[in-house]
Structure 1
Amino acid sequence: MSRYSRHEEFLFLAFCVFVSGFTYTHGGADDTLNTCSHVRQEFTRQNIGAAELVPEIPQTDELLSVCSRTLKDSSKKSCCSYESEKKYVLRAEKFLKDSIHTKNLKLKSLIESHITDYEKRIFSMIEVGQNNTGNKLSDWYSIPVSEHRLAVNHLFTDLEEYLKKTVILPSSVAKFFDNIFPVIVKNSIFDKDSSSTLSHHGHHCLSKHRQDIRPKPFGDFPAKIVENLNSAFSISRAYLDALYIVLEAINTTDFLVLEEDCKHALTRLQYCSHCQGLMQYKPCKGFCTQVMRGCLSILSEISPEWDDIIGSIEILVRGMGGENSIDKILQRLPNMISDAIMHAMVNAPKFFHSMQELCEIPASSALGGGHGQVPHMVPDTSRFLSMNEAPWSENLYVEVMRFTLDLVDSKGLYKNMADEICTQPIQFEQDQMTGQCWNGTSIAGYQMTLSDPSLVSQAQNNQEVKVSLILDPKMRRLKDKLSSVNLNLQSHTDVEPQSLNVMMSDDAVVYSGDKQIDLGKGTTLEDDEDLYNSGSGSGDGNKEKPDVVITNKDTFNERERPPPYETNRDNYIPPPPNQNKQSKPDNGSRTNQVSLPLLLGAFLVILRLAR
């Protein structure tokens, strides 16, 4: 073969390389998309809708209202129809709602399970305390069950109801001692050998005027019992109230109503690439983050209140242990009631005349011995140990601590939810430097600056979603409830509000992974993995945000926004290599990483060498 022919062959080969490179760089969807069969297959594979909703070949549908915005020319042909677009919108909305539900589900199940177990444990303790109190009255003071059952049952039923906010503890305790006083007088103070018995009128009178008798028959014991019960039960009730409002917050976000502009942005994010036959490319993570932050900006608005109440629960739990915890108080309650009764028996001679004057108790119903002496009846304490060795299960405080450590990990849940949804590698391209992802119009890197997730920032700066500054009424009420319950929690602690950001890991408790954990109050676990599941949490503190309830009528649309560089540059996603400006390639372009000048220069070099 001649030298000339070799040159000719070499030049021809170089030209072919040049042409192929040019085609690879600038080939758009319309250059190669002659059929919509693959789009149809994906449409049915994902169960989005019936195959016939997708056209067989690219067409122009003037009714397209969402995905037409991703086309360079609205009259351009695509594999989307008006009917398939509606299905895409529904599926995109479902994806976000399912994602929110999934993020909430584990925490919701954890809280519901803990509330059920906590209440069950408390009610079980109340039942044991009720049985022990009844046994003491029968076995120690020889009071028939039929005479004390009603008073005892009412007291402990009120303790259960107190956790539901339907009773006032001081009134319940006072009513118990009013009702039990005539029974004590009849069975433990009056002379057993006396022929007189307490009449119905006398019984009623003693119950009615018990609090008027001086000196007080039960001394200060009723007040001490109220103080103990009120302290322990009010904290437990505040704890449950907080958990219920946290559940309400989760349920409210589970049924979040998405705005139409959000639905459209979600559709552009996930499905408008199908219109151009680009199903094989995932949406860019930055594009996803921008859209999700706009759609979920209302959730970020409750994030400060959410973080505050989680912090307050954490502080409250620290004070729930020790001798004044609800389980310890309920365990001691039968003995406290017994002490009150013993006080009445010992001091009967002092208040007998006051009682006699108020209720006209006959003189024949004298105190034991008939001479105004202290009764000689001694309570049978042979069952004292057995009744105090009630079958208490694992320390309730340790169980609450375990749960709270998991709950603390939910700080920042709603502030960070949008970003976390976009960390799914199956759904979204995680490499922010690649140019091989769907950016809303073409296959290229997403270069818009990400706006801060706060509602105000999103309304001002989000280029993908129009965000209103008007708070949804449900979210407004939820914010108020969270704040109100949080104030109630703080009223039960001695900690200043600014201290609520302190994590449990900052406490005196050691969580090292290889040391014992001293929870205080004599409770020690061998290792922190026995106490809680590993996890570092997702929050970053309680950053206050303005409570905005105004309408921004000048909200920018995606084409009228200020340049992205005017916003927070900390969230700026750098462009892929060789992309210093936002590219505007033809719709459906497969890549723009190889430029025409570069290929032309390479061709000229090859041509010179060939010569």
Structure 2
Amino acid sequence: MEHGRVKIGHRNVIAQRSSEHGSDADLLICKHQGPTCCTRKMEESYYAAAQRDTLQNILSYSFELKYLILGHAFSFQDTFHSLLSFTLNHTYSLFDSTYETISRDAKPLVSTLFSDLDLYLRGDANISVEHSVHSFYDKLFPLVYQHLVNPGLGSNISTWSSEGSECLRATRHDVNPFGPHPQELAQGLSRALVAGRALSRALAVGADVLNATESVGMARQCGRALVRMLFCPHCRGLTLIRPCGGLCLNVMRGCLAGLAELDGPWRRYVALLEALSGVLSGGYEVELALLRIRERINDAILTAQLHGPHLSAVVGKVCGSLTEPVSSTPVSPTSRRLTPSVNPTIELQISVTSSSSTTLPDTGNQHEHITLKRRSLPLKPSKNDKPRSLKKISKEFMGYIQRYKSFFSTLPEMLCEGEVVMDENTCWSGEDVVESYTGHVVGNGLQAQRHNPEIKVRSADPILVNMKEKLEHFNQEMWGEMGLGTDGREDVETSSGDAAEGSGECDDEDGCQGSGRSEDETVLTKKETHVRSPPRDPFIPAQPPISRTNPAHITTISSVLFLPLLLIIQLLLWTEGF
């Protein structure tokens, strides 16, 4: 989508000359000795046109950056959605094919878990992966214990009590029926998804920064300086002369002094985006972690089954009797206990066929069908859009975002280059036609404007001051939280804002060689996730057990290593055809 930039000082904003030459007695900005072609009303029109056109040009540049951030934010979320949908169906198929007796009641628990993971990846502050995983296993325990560990405990004269089911949920952490597998799943998902979540939050903050810059107007002193630079020559009949380069830089740097204050925090922010994208482009950790959900759940259920007798003894001591006499109006033992509420922000509906081609029965349960709600902003409107791997999207984003590292410090140059200043022997100095601009050209930022000869800048807009503080706080929080080796300040001091050589477009998936990171590249150090470790009873082994009665359902060492590779290949092929 192309947004053409408005050329400042375009002929169509030049008002018609007065029929008679007047004086500058009534003019406020374009005063000079001698006759003038302008009136006070024309000067006011120039003032409005100068501000409007300059703001439009700023928006045209910031739109490109904003589109890059919002477009890739959607692209990342779309890929996360595809991964979650695929692995959700992959997990559903476990219950449909292996644990059919609890499939109907377990699927709502699975859908809630995946809904939480979706919200977590979107940056929801109220979601904890650790809590969601342990909550899933808490609610799964009564189902496993009743239908798989003690399927014959109920009878025609007794049924499961709600108090018994609640006791199983409440004591799951202490009884530890699933061994180490809940903890391993929680830790694995936390480590794998933290970079994706951080990137989602960072992209949202970047969009907020650009929205704030677009809402800031121009000070009156800026408008007057723009009129002197762009339109005062017209009052003398000099319609072809262009401003000197030094004059334009002084005026633009004065007008954009508040935006230039964002330069330091923005450079550190872009360095953060590069680091997070580098993590996601380094391999398939997210994909593998999601695919292992099914494996971890299966291992947990097998652990409970294989130690059923001992587990029953422990539960009997902790919870006592789990049944009660059948009442005259019996209530389904599962209908009154394990129907979780799914977050209303998630639309539940299956849109992808599982790898085992299992068709889900229409039971009327709203939790049986899940798809994670997509954003409405299209990255590309083409009907041929296909979800791409996180690795490809991340490498692409890294290549693009580097170009905007110095956006706020180079914006004045971009506004002046080629649109206002022309390479001629003479130019407009703000007062007269000269061969070269002799005034002192200041740098960027508020401090430098104290010596600006063209415009007096007192302070930055409060909106920009608040946004600078917000961005600095976010950078500090994320660099510390993610365990990065540097907070990006070193990059700000040494980098001039130029993009690094190579945009990272060479991809291992495309058969390129030597696409690994260089030694001096910023690398995200995976911070150890501190997750509470549940106490384990002596009867639960530290490693997945081997079943002799049902070997078909046991994941062997070779399958643990080989199955994820097959699923990764299948997942990549599926996303290309989605």
Q: Corresponding residue for 2:415?
A: 421
Are the equivalent residues in 1 in contact too, given 2:161–2:323 (CA < 8 A)? no
* CA-CA distance at 1:116 after TM superposition: 1.0
1:562 corresponds in structure 2 to none
The equivalent residue for 2:452 is 462
**Deviation of the 1:394 alpha carbon:** 3.5
C-alpha distance after superposition, 1:363-409 (max 9, x if no partner): 99xxxxxxxxxxxxxxxxxx997489xxx954212211111210011
Match of 1:476 among 465, 473, 478: 465
Match of 1:410 among 389, 404, 425: 404
Whole-angstrom distance in 2 between the partners of 1:404 and 1:106: 15
Residues 278 and 398 of structure 2 are in contact (CA less than 8 Å); yes or no, is this contact kept in structure 1?
no
Equivalent in the alignment of 1:93: 51
In the aligned structure 2, how far is the partner of 1:338 from the partner of 1:167? 24
State which of 236, 242, 245 in structure 2 corresponds to 1:285: 245
Asked if 1:205 is matched to 2:198, the reply is no
Post-superposition shift, 1:148?
1.1
Aligned to 1:165: 125
Deviation at 1:276, TM superposition (A): 0.2
Does residue 241 in structure 1 map to residue 201 in structure 2? yes
Aligned to 2:366: none
1:476-495 equivalences under 5 Å are 476-491=465-480, 492-495=482-485
Once residues 73 and 277 of structure 2 are traced to their aligned partners in structure 1, the CA distance between those partners, rounded to angstroms, is 14
Q: Specify the code of the residue in structure 1 equivalent to 2:421.
A: F
| TM value normalised by structure 2 | 0.70
Deviations 1:580-599 (A, max 9, x none): xxxxxxxxxxxxxxxxxxxx
Structure 2, gaps ≥5 residues long: 1-7, 325-352, 359-385, 517-578
| Closer/same/farther in 2, CA of residues 93 and 291 from structure 1, 3 Å limit | same
2:512 aligns with one of 526, 534, 558: 526
Whether contact under 8 Å (2:257, 2:444) holds in the other structure is yes
Contact in 2 for aligned 1:313/1:489 (Cα 8 Å): no
Provide the rounded CA distance (Å) in 1 between the counterparts of 2:503 and 2:248.
Answer: 37
Whole-Å Cα distance in 2 between the matches of residues 306 and 322 of structure 1?
24
Q: Secondary structure at the match of 2:90?
A: helix
Among candidates 43, 56, 79, match of residue 19 of structure 2 = 56
Return the match for 2:306 from 307, 330, 346.
Answer: 346
Counterpart among 430, 441, 444 of residue 423 in structure 2: 430
Q: Is the 8 A contact 1:303 1:413 kept in 2?
A: yes
Residue type of the alignment partner of 1:256: V
Which of 229, 232, 250 is the equivalent residue of 2:192? 232
CA distance in 2, matches of 1:335, 1:202: 28
Question: Counterpart amino acid of 2:440?
Answer: T
Distance 2:255 2:146 in 1: 72
The count of residues paired between Structure 1 and Structure 2 equals 445
Aligned partner of 2:140 among 177, 180, 183: 180
Q: AA paired with 1:343?
A: T
Partner SS state of residue 127, structure 2: coil
- Structure 1: state its 5+ residue gaps: 1-41, 365-382, 532-611
Q: For 1:1-80, list aligned pairs within 5 A.
A: 46-47=12-13, 51=16, 54-68=17-31, 71=32, 73=33, 76-80=34-38
In structure 1, give the amino acid aligned to 2:218: L
- Secondary structure in structure 1 of the residue aligned to 2:427: coil
Instruction: Assess if the C-alpha contact under 8 Å between 1:238 and 1:488 holds in 2.
Output: no
Higher relative contact order (CA 8 A, sep 6+): 2
Q: Separation in 2 of the partners of 1:194 and 1:237?
A: 44
* Change in 2 beyond 3 A, CA 1:324/1:98: same
Note the 1:249-328 alignment, pairs <5 A: 249-322=209-282, 325-328=285-288
The answer on whether the counterparts of 1:315 and 1:500 sit within 8 Å (CA) in structure 2 is no
For residues 542-563 of structure 1, the C-alpha deviation after alignment (integer angstroms, 9 at most, x for no partner) is xxxxxxxxxxxxxxxxxxxxxx
Question: Are 2:268 and 2:491, in contact at CA under 8 Å, matched by a contact in 1?
Answer: yes
Q: Quick one: distance in 2 between partners of 1:304 and 1:356?
A: 63
Partner residue, 2:83: 125
How far, CA to CA, are the matches of 1:506 and 1:326 in structure 2? Answer: 31
Partner SS, residue 101 of structure 2: coil
Counterpart secondary structure, 1:176: helix
Q: Is the 8 A contact 1:155 1:172 kept in 2?
A: yes
Q: Is 2:178 the partner of 1:218?
A: yes
- Asked whether the equivalents of residues 37 and 237 of structure 2 are also in contact (C-alpha less than 8 Å), the reply is yes
Q: Per the alignment, do residues 345 and 454 of structure 1 end up closer, same or farther by CA in structure 2, a change over 3 Å counting? A: same
CA deviations over 1:458-499 (Å, ceiling 9, x no partner): 1x210001011x332211211111112212331314422355
- For residue 60 of structure 1, give the secondary structure of its aligned residue in structure 2: coil
Q: Give CA-to-partner distance per residue, 1:146-202, whole Å, 9 cap, x none.
A: 311221121111112223222222221111111111111122212459746533332
Say what the alpha-carbon RMSD is for the aligned residues: 3.3
**Deviations, residues 281-321 of structure 1 (Å, cap 9, x unaligned):** 11222211111111111111110000011012212222234
Cα gap change, 1:100 to 1:118, in 2 (>3 Å): same
The answer to whether the 8 Å contact 1:143/1:183 transfers is no
Greater C-alpha radius of gyration: 1
Comparing 164-173 and 272-281, the one that deviates more: 164-173
Distance, in Å, in 2 between the alignment partners of 1:333 and 1:110 is 33
In structure 1, give the amino acid aligned to 2:280. Answer: M
C-alpha contact 2:87 2:290 (8 A) present in aligned 1 = yes
Alpha-carbon distance in structure 2 between the residues aligned to 1:124 and 1:103: 32
Alpha-carbon shift at residue 341 of structure 1 (Å): 1.7
Shift of 1:84: 0.5
2:565 matched to which residue of 1? Answer: none
What is the alpha-carbon distance in structure 1 between the residues aligned to residue 354 and residue 111 of structure 2?
21
